[in-house]
Amino acid sequence: MARTLSEPGAPPGPQVADLAALGLIVRHRRLALALRIDDAAHACGVAPSVLSRLENGGAVGADRLLRILTGLGLMMVVAAKGDTVLVPPNGQAKVFESWSDVVSDFKPYFSALQGAK
């Protein structure tokens, strides 16, 4: 009998302080895509044991981590703790000096959303 996938549940927060938090994000994404672990691992180009280790908070090499993130449609943004980092719809992360810079940079997106209503 085929195993059924768990529901992904509420999404975890995007900030990662340890490997356990990163594993939760990866597992949530895989389940949201309705992929079994072996299918997801194959699609990402890693062994199922590597993906399982990551999902359970274990260490994996940086090359494998990036393959998994890319394969699941995730991205990693590295920033100083005090920085304000936002990722607009184009997927290019940007560090902002102030909230007024954020507002002016995102104004076209907000305007487009208002016009779509």
pLDDT in tens, 10-67: 888 888 889 999 999 999 999 999 999 999 999 999 999 999 999 999 999 999 999 9
Rg (the chain; Cα; Å): 17
* 8 A C-beta contact, residue 71 and residue 63: no
Sequence spans of domains, the chain: 19-71, 84-116
DSSP β-bridge partners for residue 86: 94
Q: pLDDT-based confidence at 116, cuts 50/70/90?
A: low
Helix axes 48-55, 19-32, angle to 10 degrees: 120
Classify domain 19-71 at the CATH class level.
Answer: mainly alpha
Instruction: Write down the pTM of the prediction.
Output: 0.76
